[in-house]
A = this chain, B = another copy of it.
Amino acid sequence: MLRSHTCGELNETNIGQEVQLCGWVQKSRDLGGMTFIDLRDRYGITQLVFNLETDKALCEKARELGREFVVQASGIVSERSNKNAKIATGNIEIIVKQFSILNPSEIPPFTIEDQSDGGDDLRMKYRYLDLRRNPVRKNLELRHKITQSVRNYLDQQNFIEVETPVLIRSTPEGARDFIVPARQNPGHFYALPQSPQLFKQLLMVSGFDRYFQIVKCFRDEDLRADRQPEFTQIDCEMSFVEQEDILQTFEGLIRNTFQMSIGVDLGRVERMTYDEAMHQYGSDKPDTRFDMRFQHLNEQMKNSGFPIFDQAEIIVGIVVKNQSEMTRKQLDQLTDFVKRPQVGASGLVYVKYNNDGSIKSSIDKFFDSTQLLNVLKSCSACEGDLLLILAGHKDKTLKALSDLRLEVAGQLGLRSTTEFKALWVIDFPLLELDEESGRWFAKHHPFTSPKSEDITLLESNPGKVRANAYDLVVNGVELGGGSVRIFDKGLQEKMFEVLGFTKEEAQHQFGFLMNAFKYGAPPHAGIAFGLDRLCAVMGGSDSIRDYIAFPKNNAGKDIMIEAPSTIDNKQMADLGLKIAE
């Protein structure tokens, strides 16, 4: 071992000991006859001291050390005169007797500090240097902690981790597959899995009973911000269970993970149906850290002579507590916000319930104070509160108010990244209609089981069929989702029919699962969590990229290693492929 201790562990109890440390030069200061060097490793920072008077040669050599040089130093642990309470090793320093440069360093292209001066692109190109920064490394340490605690919990619950193959068969349903030419079978291709869905269902057919896997998945999508072509799932499946068992088991998992990884007691995970969530929050992944539920105002405000309301399919508002004194400018900014094309509302109505009991609104012309007071009362607004109202087409307006709710809450500091609120959203619709093609698509996937009481609606009213499907939402982010699966061959065939598959198409794409179901498939259900997103939420970040060691950029490129790249003509020839003209 080139060191006796790490740079994070020495303290007063070690005073007088001779130690040897290795690490990187974080910072160097010359103060009169002394030189101080902060030596850094993964575990912390320890101060090295050199005295020009007592050892001139050594001190002068130390003064030549540049930032990020790799150094091995030995000396005596001493008490600091000038203690630093901010770091664990702040009470001691090392009086260096000897040191050597293990490796010099060029001046790094950006500062290796918690707040770096490097821009995004530069830090991505030199990701190995960005990873030296504490906040970035801590993110990956958190990710490790999370996966360890997930594995240990599931292991204790009798789940077996089984690796499913990465080189599989392309099933052109849903997102696009990445494909891999099979050199030894010219004209044939493997595909990379978008999820291990079919394999985990086969494992249930095999009697594995409780399966999990933390596994890379791949989607060749047109990239948008914060999407990665490769991502990691915590993939789980159980046999002989009902929806309730899944909700309880994975509520256990998620609570344990928060407790073990970041010491947070998540509390009971609330439950809400999809319909409730849409009605009360206009979203199937509501942020429930704060209330601000939707107030449906059609009954009270429609047909009152205000044309915009009268023509609207829906009039819906939120009460913002204690914000009746919001300025004109702030309200204008919110109006601009809702009018952005991504949000898409045509305007914003406000009603201020002032502290003195008076009411001020942008629709005073159409509603008198009594009417408005009744509206406020029905929304449980108090003096000092502000009511914000949107109106228009139903789906669009719900979505716009949901966006506004999050925006306002963000401005008011109600979306703290250290507070966590978890929610099961249940009873999702089984199908959704593609307006353009008029075809029904599986909202979750084609193996999701309809609620038994809704099966009769499959033909008569497909849009009304609810699924045994559930999402876990934390702080307004969907962290996982799953469903009870169809395990009956007949129902599965019916489902393919509703989805517009011919028998041949169904057989071609999912034949091996259908075949497996002939030999005694057990009732089963499962769930998959997005690990990258789980880490980001637990770490309090919006960006999954912060929790991936070597992420790709928004164009799907790794600019550090320059991938993707061209390949040799010989490699192309070996694969029997040509670039199309």
Q: Is A310 an interface residue (CB 8 A)?
A: no
CB contacts (< 8 Å) of A42 on chain B: these are 207-209
- Interface residues as binary, A172-215 with B (CB distance below 8 Å gives 1, 0 otherwise): 10001111111111111111100000110011011111000000
- B22, B106, B179, B208: the one contacting A131 at CB < 8 Å is B208
In whole Å, how far is A360's beta carbon from the nearest beta carbon of chain B?
52
Closest to A165 in B: B550
Q: Is A132 an interface residue (CB 8 A)?
A: yes
Q: Take A131-B207, A188-B565, A567-B189 as given contacts and tell me if A241 and B2 are in contact as well, using a CB distance cutoff of 8 Å.
A: yes
Complexed CA–CA distance, A132 and B132 (Å): 47
In whole Å, how far is A493's beta carbon from the nearest beta carbon of chain B?
14
Interface size class on chain A is 35 or more
Complexed CA–CA distance, A430 and B227 (Å): 43
- B6, B70, B162, B556: the one contacting A182 at CB < 8 Å is B556
Q: Is A403 an interface residue (CB 8 A)?
A: no
Q: Is A364 an interface residue (CB 8 A)?
A: no
Q: Take A185-B556, A564-B189, A566-B187 as given contacts and tell me if A203 and B577 are in contact as well, using a CB distance cutoff of 8 Å.
A: no
Which of A51-59, A115-123, A261-269, A518-526 has 4 or more CB atoms under 8 Å from chain B? A518-526
In whole Å, how far is A114's beta carbon from the nearest beta carbon of chain B?
14
Which of A218-226, A390-398, A419-427 has 4 or more CB atoms under 8 Å from chain B? A218-226
CB contacts (< 8 Å) of A567 on chain B: these are 170, 172, 179, 189, 191
Complexed CA–CA distance, A331 and B184 (Å): 42
Is the pair A106, B518 in contact by a Cβ cutoff of 8 Å? yes
Complexed CA–CA distance, A144 and B203 (Å): 14
- Interface residues as binary, A76-109 with B (CB distance below 8 Å gives 1, 0 otherwise): 0000000000000000000000000011111010
Closest to A148 in B: B155
Is the pair B179, A161 in contact by a Cβ cutoff of 8 Å? no
Which of A452-460, A470-478, A568-576 has 4 or more CB atoms under 8 Å from chain B? A568-576
For A43, A186, A519, which residue has the most chain B Cβ atoms within 10 angstroms?
Answer: A519
Is the pair B580, A578 in contact by a Cβ cutoff of 8 Å? yes
- B132, B147, B487: the one contacting A207 at CB < 8 Å is B132
Is the pair A564, B185 in contact by a Cβ cutoff of 8 Å? yes
- B105, B207, B555, B578: the one contacting A577 at CB < 8 Å is B578
Q: Is A68 an interface residue (CB 8 A)?
A: yes
Complexed CA–CA distance, A137 and B433 (Å): 42
CB contacts (< 8 Å) of A103 on chain B: these are 487-488, 517, 520-522
In whole Å, how far is A507's beta carbon from the nearest beta carbon of chain B?
12
Closest to A42 in B: B209
Q: Is A151 an interface residue (CB 8 A)?
A: yes
Q: Is A412 an interface residue (CB 8 A)?
A: no
- Interface residues as binary, A223-242 with B (CB distance below 8 Å gives 1, 0 otherwise): 10000011010000001111
Complexed CA–CA distance, A144 and B199 (Å): 17
Q: Is A512 an interface residue (CB 8 A)?
A: yes
Closest to A101 in B: B520
Is the pair A520, B104 in contact by a Cβ cutoff of 8 Å? yes
In whole Å, how far is A173's beta carbon from the nearest beta carbon of chain B?
12
Complexed CA–CA distance, A184 and B549 (Å): 23
In whole Å, how far is A560's beta carbon from the nearest beta carbon of chain B?
6
Q: Take A169-B561, A189-B567, A573-B580 as given contacts and tell me if A22 and B240 are in contact as well, using a CB distance cutoff of 8 Å.
A: yes
Is the pair B520, A166 in contact by a Cβ cutoff of 8 Å? no
In whole Å, how far is A419's beta carbon from the nearest beta carbon of chain B?
27
Q: Take A161-B144, A565-B188, A578-B578 as given contacts and tell me if A206 and B137 are in contact as well, using a CB distance cutoff of 8 Å.
A: yes
Is the pair A167, B229 in contact by a Cβ cutoff of 8 Å? yes
In whole Å, how far is A37's beta carbon from the nearest beta carbon of chain B?
14
Is the pair B169, A562 in contact by a Cβ cutoff of 8 Å? yes
Q: Is A499 an interface residue (CB 8 A)?
A: no
Closest to A249 in B: B1
- Interface residues as binary, A146-165 with B (CB distance below 8 Å gives 1, 0 otherwise): 01100110010000111111
Q: Is A36 an interface residue (CB 8 A)?
A: no
* 10 closest cross-chain pairs (CB), A and B: A105-B520, A131-B206, A182-B564, A169-B563, A188-B564, A42-B209, A2-B240, A68-B520, A22-B240, A128-B202
| A interface residues, Cβ below 8 angstroms from B | 1-3, 6, 22, 24, 40-43, 68-70, 72, 102-106, 108, 126-129, 131-132, 137, 140-141, 143-144, 147-148, 151-152, 155, 160-170, 172, 176-192, 198-199, 202-203, 205-209, 216, 218, 220, 222-223, 229-230, 232, 239-242, 245, 487-488, 512, 516-523, 548-550, 552, 555-558, 560-568, 571-580
Could you write out 10 A-B pairs with CB less than 8 Å apart?
A69-B520, A105-B518, A129-B519, A131-B203, A163-B548, A169-B562, A189-B564, A203-B549, A512-B561, A578-B580
